[in-house]
Structure 1
Amino acid sequence: MNTSSPKEIAQEAVDITFTILLNCCVRELGNSSFYEGVPKYDPVLKSYMSKYNHKLHLKLDFPVDKVEVYAPIRYKSETFRHLYDFPVMERDLTNETIREIDADRLLELITNQVRQQYPLADSKNVKKRMQLSTEKIAQFLEHFQTSGQDFNKPEMTFIEAEQLFPAGHLLHPLTKGREGFTESEVLKYAPETGGHFQLYYFLVHPDLVTEKSVDNVLPSDFAKNEVLKASKGDQKTQDLLSNYPDWKVIPVHPWEAAHFKSQTVFDTLAKENLLVDLGEFGKEFTATSSVRTVYNNESDYMYKFSLHVKITGAERINHFHELYRGYEVSRLMQTAWGDNVKKTYPDIELICDPGFISVSYNGNVLDSFSTSVRYNPFKVTAGEKENNVCLLASLCQDGVLGNPSRMQNVIQKASQQTGLSLEKTSEIWFKNYIDIILTGVVKMFNEQGMFCEWHQQNTLVQLGAAFMPEKLFFRDNQSFLFRKSFEDQLDKIVPGLSENGKMFIPDDRLYNLILHYFWVGNILAVVNTFGTSQLTDEKNLLNILYDKLEDLQKEDESGLVTFILESRYWKVKGNLLTALNDIDCGGNPAGVTRINFPNVLHKRFFSEQLINPKGKDLVYNRYFPKEDVTISLRPVDIDNDLEMLHEWFHRDHAKANWKMDWPLQELETYYRTLLPSDGLYSYIGMANGEPTFNIEVYWPTRDVLGDYYDVLPTDYGTHQFIAPTDPKLKFVSPSTQCMIDYVFAQPETGRMVGEGSVDSRASMMNKAFHGFKIDKVIEMPHKTSNLNFCYREWYWEKFPQNKDIKIISETEHNLINQ
């Protein structure tokens, strides 16, 4: 195990927070692009970038402050959680100065930008809490190192995986927020420090208490027995319990007890003889990863307490309907319906919350007492070996302190069992995982009408002897939800089921919850983990996912799978925007800021050849005997083509239509951000070896054009600019045919799409001549356009001889049977 100095640990914590903040920008702000290479015509940027050896940067634009930010990319992700090298640089466009910046400065820029859309956005509290979170990450990393704990070992018990979790939520800028805890309280109550503590108990008048349980014993009676056992020799407590036989004994988190006792309502209740302070008793508990849910390895139950501490983005309070939801689902699971669920999904265990306690005074719920009682399937029986149960969030943790990630260690072990490569073993592991969880989620949604919020914090993975997923556990009383269309059916099974839990949700709203919690927060996080751990290519796993969904789609009558597969964007929660808008996602879930997340499954139809060709050699070469010309295509070479393109775009006919008559520096920036994107690529076309035209091939599903029609992921579009004005040198039709041949030769292409300006009549006539048909006129931000389409059949109807074209760049004459 590597050893880091305190300074290195502090810097790693800063880098973790900075990485999260950068990725929040990528996902939530829409101001990012990738910048490839070191510029030739931008002296300020060139001077800075030449000092380092970074081939790719994330570029963030902040026009409000006239600033650009550049962050070196270490790992570029298909699922939009990238890894970075540091430092990060800010360029002031007003005075052309460059300086290195920290996360606080980036947050300031973000806030100024966000205020254009959300005027009340405020970074003050976010900045403070982000700094506290960073300090906690450093504290936990140092604790793990000094205590010698191996936080990435492949085998862990339930509580080890819950607590050996240093960096936390990988997409929340306040990932280790613990606002409300003092330094000593963090050591005692945070899971990462493994502190143990007794529970605090109050004796409360029964008229104030609401409690439920599906078990034979009420939560307060169970708590009373615990206090009785622990208070032997404490005559005062024994006498109190005897003198108030009908009063309720209620456990509370010790921190929350102190918080409650500082409130005036505590003094009021005590004076009115409605409450008695019993103090701390009994066996010691320790925090799970959620902080407020506590565990004792000998107890039949875990407790999920209310805690007025801001953990990540919200104070963690058990709301009354959430308490009821857990209890009602426990009731349902004790029926024949529940027996069928257990039988149908033997590899999935839904951990239920069989009871709860709530206290009200003068019609107001006293949140400090709101507690959910959860079954403990991880109780340790003497002499038995504990199962290797992993919190998914800890399994998805990056490597820290110079050590491999936990997933790397798990796959290394699994690879020894399979005898296969790490890549093949990773794919098998992933297939096993989605066979259990994806099949279960889709089938449960269809047949039981149920969805559980399977995010990383709620998902536990049990690994078998071969280190492959063999069973999954789901936990969280507030996260059991049902389709509204199943309400009557389930209400007959458990009368009154729908009255208190607010658990029946219309399908369209459930779809978005599924996409956020399960799809992006779980499945894509696992995909990203394999990628960032360099175990396999993310695209391989996305293709496996697509295949699995297509299989599930055959029996999916709900429309869920089709929604996942076909949506251009998925609506997910924006953690950064939610924090900046000061929205408590626990108390106000409807107020959460949601963003569009591109459907990464559509990469199944992404043509690497069109949008990300390798090298600079010819990709297509064709001889046209009638015109006696050979037309060739090759990718743009920024270093050698830029001055030529700059001259082309300054020609009169280019200025009118292309409007790219920019200075060399601006044009270079355009190409350095265009070429590493997944939206568009540029090619140079040549006539008899002489460069004469430029085409751009773009993917409309990731382009602004996709906003104006029902875009398909198999759509591909082109722009074409012919530089010469001499008709003898234009070769318009051969050039256009080569462009269309090249695009249609790729198997990912379904149809071609165009959006030529209505003012460019010659362009549209050329398109029509080659088989394109106008669909409608659309108003785009920069022009009024003719939306047009072309299918292979339409093109081949115009040019039947081109149906047999083979795209072979090495040969000059590749027209079959010419």
Structure 2
Amino acid sequence: MYQSAKQIAEFESFQVFINCYLKEIDKGNWVDTEDWIKHKSIPVTLTGKSVIELELTNLTLTFALEVNYHSLTGRHLIGQVLKYCPATYQWIIQDYLPFMITLIQDLDLAEQKNKCTDLSHFDELTIRLIDSFQTMTTYIEARRRDAERLYSEDATFIETEQSLLFGHWMHPTPKSRQGMASWQHPSFAPELNASFPLHYFQVDRNLVEEASSLPMSASEMIQNSLERKGPALQLGNNDCIIPVHPLQAQWLLQQDYIKEAMSHNLVKYLGAMGEQYLATSSIRTVYSEVEEWMYKFSIPVKVTNSLRVNQTHELIAGTIIYNLMKKLNYSKDYFRFIEDPAYIKCKFPGREESGLELIIRSNKFLKGNDMNICSIAALVQTPLPGYRSKLHCIIDRLAKSESRSTKEVSIDWFQKYWRCSIEPLIRLYDEHGLALEAHQQNSLLDLSTGYPETYYYRDNQGYYLSKTHCETLFELEPSLKGLPELFYEDALIQERFTYYLIQNQLFSIINRFGQDSLISEESLAQWVREQLIQMELQLVSLGKQLVQKVLYSVTLPYKANLLTRLHDVDELLAENEQAVYTKVPNPFTCLKKEKDYEKPTTIVV
């Protein structure tokens, strides 16, 4: 049956929202469908094996959710929603969007009862929910005609970066773009294949601070890049140029301190020039297949939980971490970092950040080296109706070319993924006290052969250095002493690392295999548990502690994006960049007892 873009967006918005709710707020009462429908008057046939009853006590309402796919890792597929009407003793079908707003209203009432009215932002969450839904509708309408390319087994880096129609799989407002007007989306949204020239400011060098871990300075990189295709600039010895995102340029020109600097000829707006750049999945990092550097900008837009601003310590971290990684020499053929080796910023009196902060990122995916580089977010995203996920398409093609079953290929694929991604990340933490914010969007795979060959990590905001390793790290890279923001207590590191690496990244792969009926989540989770038990015997330090918590804790830490949004927390501005965290059941404790894993086993096919 044909579904409109609006219907698809409403359904997918509901899936992410309700799964957040079930994890963070109330898991509900799970009952067998056949038992539940006995003696009930319901207007539809329920095909799911389970039903979840939700009691909204603050509104005295009862709902029932049809479970079409029960996920071990916690991302269920929910079908129809029914609402109980006490006046008629009947259940009626409830539309998704009104139901989500009802859930928000109930949460707000709960906050009021707990006298937390200052912490509840019913209006903000509702607005962002609707904004996300409407934006998703726009993207689906524009891209459904080229759906084959969205999930193609062969795609370029930028094609996969611009394919995320549904967004963050664990966020209640995944496509909210506050600060970006509807008419600006075609020009700047990656989902709409946006490309654009950058805007440039000429700035007096007395206002400029820059650093580079490479022989060439940041300002030289920028000028050389612009002049390669653009005009030859007649700059004075005391001037340099800084590119900004077009959205940021519009914002900057309205700021009083920029106007003041322009009136004194300290800053000059040069307008749009040079190469066309394309928006990547983060919106604010831009890419060109012919340019050696990507640029990561501040933009006046709230994406997921935060206003996207480059902070000074993040700029500095990029150069220092680049130096540290060279000395650690941890990059391998199958595990690599995408470095941020240079930055440039402007300093204005009384302002820590001016909006003219730029991170320069290494572009490892120039034309000719950009095929089949895919973020895990793009790999596992839910496909449009009638299509298969990118992962599903890849497994099917491999199975046909190798004359093997999809289950056999799935096992091999998953094991190669583990060995180039999850295992090296845990060992890095164990050996050097360095954990990475390795969520889906920060994690890229080279799938040139169809199988994961190399894992790439990106994002200079996502480094967590253990305080217990600080002296050793200071010896390797003394400049780390000037950046205490990078060092954390191990309890906090392990909380975040467990969420980003295990829940956000690993579980998304396991869930996609399960939802696509390629291999069960339980089989993959059993294999992972066995690998963790083996690693527990091999690791000697912080990684061992992490693995033990993942294996044996009854619950695992979970980043509560719904509660973060309800309380309107901007995690980039909060202390320790701390979002709201909660605990959710640990899938590994739902598996067989440890004694069943004393001998090495293989996944049953």
TM range (shorter): over 0.9
1:29 aligns with 2:25: yes
Tell me by how many angstroms 1:200 deviates: 0.8
Q: Write the distance in 1 (CA, Å) between the matches of 2:306 and 2:335.
A: 29
Q: Secondary structure at the match of 2:396?
A: helix
How far 1:439 moved relative to its partner? 1.8
Residue type of the alignment partner of 2:526: N
In structure 2, distance between residues paired with 1:312 and 1:375: 25
Residue 577 (str. 1) matches residue 573 (str. 2)? no
Contact 2:157 2:374 in 1 (8 A): yes
**Distance in 1 between the 2:37 and 2:372 partners?**
56
1:353: which partner in 2? 340
Look up the match of 1:90.
83
| Residue matched to 2:374 | 390
Residue matched to 1:341: 330
- Residue correspondence of structure 1 range 310-709 to structure 2 within 5 A: 310-335=302-327, 337=328, 340-342=329-331, 345-380=332-367, 384=368, 386-465=370-449, 467-500=450-483, 502-558=485-541, 559-588=545-574, 590-605=577-592
Q: Which residue does 2:245 correspond to in 1?
A: 253
For residues 212 and 509 of structure 1, do their structure 2 counterparts lie closer, same or farther at Cα, with a shift above 3 Å needed? same
Q: Does 1:277 align with 2:273?
A: no
Contact 1:161–1:394 under 8 Å retained in 2: yes
Using the TM superposition, give the Cα deviation of residue 58 of structure 1 relative to its aligned residue in structure 2, in angstroms.
2.3
Distance 1:313 1:221, change over 3 A: same
Asked whether the equivalents of residues 317 and 367 of structure 1 are also in contact (C-alpha less than 8 Å), the reply is no
Q: Residues 525-568 of structure 1, C-alpha deviation per residue, up to 9 Å, x if partnerless?
A: 11111111111110001001001001111121222211221212
Partner of 1:693: none
User: After TM superposition, what 4+ stretches of structure 1 lie above 6 angstroms from structure 2?
Assistant: none
Post-superposition CA distance 1:257-282 (Å, at most 9, x none): 11111222221111233211111111
Equivalent position amino acid for 1:563 in 2: K
Identity of paired residues, percent?
A: 26
Tell me how far apart the structure 2 counterparts of residues 125 and 365 of structure 1 sit (CA, whole Å): 27
Q: 2 CA distance for matches of 1:139 and 1:298?
A: 30
Give the drift of 1:256: 0.6
- Residue 201 of structure 2 is matched in structure 1 by 202
Which amino acid is the alignment partner of residue 37 of structure 1?
A: T
CA distance in 2, matches of 1:68, 1:205: 64
Shift of 1:369: 1.1
Query: Which of structures 1 and 2 has the larger relative contact order (alpha carbons within 8 angstroms, sep 6+)?
Result: 2
Cα contact 2:203–2:266 (8 A) shared by 1? yes
Tell me by how many angstroms 1:501 deviates: 5.8
- Mark the CA change 1:97 to 1:262 in structure 2 (over 3 Å): closer, same or farther: farther
Question: SS in structure 1 opposite 2:440?
Answer: coil
1:177 aligned onto 2:176: yes
Give the TM-score taking structure 2 as reference length. Answer: 0.92
Describe the superposition over 1:127-161 as per-residue Cα deviations: whole angstroms up to 9, x where unpaired.
11111211222222222223565211112111111
Within a 5 Å distance, the mapping from 1:786-797 to structure 2 comes to none
Q: Following the alignment from structure 1 to structure 2, what is the Cα–Cα distance between the partners of residues 21 and 605?
A: 31
Give the direction of change, closer, same or farther, for the CA distance of 1:506–1:80 in structure 2 (3 Å limit): same
1:81 maps onto 2:81 in alignment? no
Once the 2 structures are TM-superposed, how far is the Cα of residue 224 of structure 1 from its aligned partner?
2.3
| Distance in 2 of aligned mates of 1:50 and 1:376 | 53
Distance 1:62 1:424 in 2: 45
Distance 1:160 1:585, change over 3 A: same
- 1:54 and 1:215, CA in 2 relative to 1: closer, same or farther beyond 3 A? closer
Q: Which residue in the other structure is 2:602 paired with?
A: none
* Cα shift at 1:92: 4.6
Give the 3 Å change call, closer, same or farther, for CA 54–396 of structure 1 in structure 2: closer
- Structure 1 residue 184 displacement after superposition: 2.5
8 Å CA contact 2:22–2:28 kept in 1: the answer is yes
One-letter amino acid matched to 2:582: I
Output the amino acid matched with 2:348. Y
Aligned to 2:136: 137
Gaps of 5+ in 2: 598-605
Offset of residue 347 of structure 1 = 0.6
Question: CA separation of 1:41/1:511 partners in 2, compared to 1, >3 Å: closer, same or farther?
Answer: closer
Superposed CA deviations along residues 204-249 of structure 1, whole A, max 9, x for unmatched, are: 122222111011222222222334445538xxxx44x2xx322221
For the 8 Å contact 1:442–1:556, the answer to whether it is kept is no
CA shift digits 1:677-732 (9 cap, x unpaired)? xxxxxxxxxxxxxxxxxxxxxxxxxxxxxxxxxxxx99xxxxxxxxxxxxxxxxxx
- How many Å separate the matches in 2 of 1:506 and 1:437? 24
- Call closer, same or farther: CA 1:37–1:401 in 2, change over 3 Å: closer
Instruction: State whether residues 557 and 581 of structure 2, in contact with CA within 8 Å, keep that contact through their aligned partners in structure 1.
Output: yes
Match of 2:287 among 291, 295, 307: 295
Q: C-alpha distance in 1, partners of 2:101/2:458?
A: 34
**Rounded Cα–Cα distance in structure 1 between residues aligned with 2:423 and 2:45:** 50
Structure 1 residue 598: Cα displacement:
1.2
Distance 2:291 2:189 in 1: 20
Which residue identity does 1:66 align to in structure 2? T
Q: 2:36–2:51: 8 Å Cα contact kept in structure 1?
A: no
1-structure distance, mates of 2:142, 2:16: 22
1:85 maps to amino acid: G
Quote the offset at 1:584 in angstroms: 0.8
CA deviation vs aligned residue, 1:321-359 (integer Å, no higher than 9, x gap):
111111111122333x3xx313xx331011110011122
Asked if structure 2 preserves the Cα contact closer than 8 Å seen for 1:111 and 1:122, the reply is: no
Q: What is the rounded CA distance, in whole Å, between the counterparts of 1:254 and 1:177 in structure 2?
A: 19
Whether the 8 Å CA contact 2:197–2:277 is kept in 1: the answer is: yes
Residue 155, structure 1, aligned to residue 138, structure 2: no
Hey, what does 1:65 align to over in structure 2? 59
Which range moved further: 200-209 or 455-464?
200-209
C-alpha separation in 2, matches of 1:508 and 1:52:
44
- Partner Cα separation in structure 2 for residue 155 and residue 167 of structure 1: 20
- Asked if structure 1 preserves the Cα contact closer than 8 Å seen for 2:42 and 2:90, the reply is no
Q: Is 1:109 matched with 2:92?
A: no
Helix, strand or coil: the match of 1:539? helix
Residues 1:168 and 2:167 are matched in the alignment:
yes
Q: 1:228 to 1:298 in 2, by over 3 A?
A: closer
Task: State the one-letter code of the partner of 2:438.
Answer: W
Instruction: Give the aligned length.
Output: 587
Q: Which residue of 1 aligns with 2:210?
A: 211
Cα distance change, pair 249–501 in 1 and its aligned pair in 2 (3 A): farther
User: Is the contact between residue 67 and residue 78 of structure 2 (CA under 8 Å) also seen in structure 1?
Assistant: yes
Q: Following the alignment from structure 2 to structure 1, what is the Cα–Cα distance between the partners of residues 22 and 491?
A: 26
For residues 496 and 53 of structure 1, do their structure 2 counterparts lie closer, same or farther at Cα, with a shift above 3 Å needed? closer
The match for 1:10 is 6
Matching residue of 1:127 = 126
Contact 1:200 1:278 survives alignment (8 Å): yes
User: Which amino acid is 1:469 matched to?
Assistant: P
Equivalent AA in structure 2 for residue 266 of structure 1: I
Q: CA shift at 1:51, angstroms?
A: 4.6
CA distance 1:159–1:78, change in 2 (3 Å): same
One-letter amino acid of the structure 2 residue matched with residue 306 of structure 1: S
Q: Which moved more, 1:421-430 or 1:100-109?
A: 100-109
- Larger mean Cα displacement after TM superposition, 493-502 or 154-163: 493-502
Aligned-residue offset at 1:476: 0.3
**Secondary structure at the counterpart of residue 308 of structure 1:** coil
Q: Partner of 1:132: helix, strand, or coil?
A: helix
